[in-house]
Structure 1
Amino acid sequence: MNKAFVKETEQDDDDDVQLAPPIPAGAKNYITPSGYRRIKDELLQLIDVDRPEVVKVVHWAASNGDRSENGDYIYGKRRLREIDRRIRFLTKRLDLAEVVDPSVHHGSDQIFFGATVTYSNQDGVENTITIVGIDEFDPLKGKVSWISPIARTITKAREGDTVTLHTPTGTEELEILEVSYPAPE
């Protein structure tokens, strides 16, 4: 059967939620102030700019008559569903978010949420990571989620401490070289 004749289901609406990292049971959705602003800005962009533009296109396409073979109408409606799905997802995530300002730990040498940590492994290779919220992580930019194994291992350690990280390939000793937090605004 052609995909054009298959009705979308409610399960499709939950695709974003299924792709999002799960929040551990009983835990809060911690997020940095900058991460909260970024998500809120995306939500406002979708509501105030993107959705109204697509609605205009769909309205124009619907006024052209036969909707069954009207590509602008069909793809516009699909894009509208995608935008609405993303709006619902972002709204839920913001409702669950608990903003934690890491600058309150400025000057501390102990690792908590929001810390930027430089550590070295057994081979002397140095890495720098920042512990952020589930909705903010970006491993390519050195941002790791607070629920990741590395973040859980180093949390509450201090500069100079050595911690043991358990990985699928075995254990690894990490030495904490530097801990920093953003300055208060």
Structure 2
Amino acid sequence: MKRSNLITAAGATRLRNELAHLWKNLRPEVTRAINAAAAEGDRSENAEYIYRKKQLREIDRRVRYLQRRTAEMQVIEHTPSNQNKVFFGARVTLTDEHDQEISYRIVGSDEFDHKPEYISVDSPMARALLGKELDDEVTVRLPEETNRFWITEIKYPDPNQ
């Protein structure tokens, strides 16, 4: 399944800052360390040189990924006009069949691991919630079970948070 390109303004800022840090700070530092290690002689048995080359490959891989993602991301910088329905960026409070309450914020696939209560817009839970309204029943089908929830609150935090 293709990942969504949606992202909050705060998430987009985090990705851009990470890209800038990798490219302007970390990569030049590692490159200098590689050159210093290479000057020591035999590269085939030089642990520092081998480690730094591996580190540089990992940085370059992440830089390429971030460049692709930041170029294609669609930053959502506003709240929807109808705040009685669940859309991207909403913080939704749910109650399950055992009267346990849980709250999620629907965010982009590149930012759901930023906070534990964030879920990706591409997740089964988020897909089940999108378009629903207050007091609606939501059924989430997972490979091993089906869960039922009721929407008890819908909020739209500042999109820049």
When normalised by structure 2's length, the TM-score is 0.90
SS in 1 for 2:31: helix
- The question of 1:158 aligning with 2:137 is answered no
Q: How does 1:1-185 map to 2 (within 5 A)?
A: 23-24=2-3, 28-101=4-77, 103-105=78-80, 108-138=83-113, 141-183=116-158
SS in 2 for 1:104: coil
SS in 1 for 2:138: strand
Consecutive unaligned residues of structure 1, counting only runs of 5 or more, are 1-21
8 Å contact kept, 1:106–1:184: no
Consecutive unaligned residues of structure 2, counting only runs of 5 or more, are none
AA of the residue aligned to 1:127: I
SS in 1 for 2:131: coil
SS in 1 for 2:20: helix
List per-residue Cα deviations over 1:50-88 (Å, max 9, x = no partner).
001111111111122222222221111111111111111
SS in 2 for 1:151: helix
SS in 1 for 2:151: strand
AA of the residue aligned to 1:122: E
Q: Percent identity?
A: 40
Higher helix share: 1
Greater relative CO (CA pairs within 8 A, separation 6+): 2
- What RMSD in Å do the two structures reach over aligned CA positions? 2.0
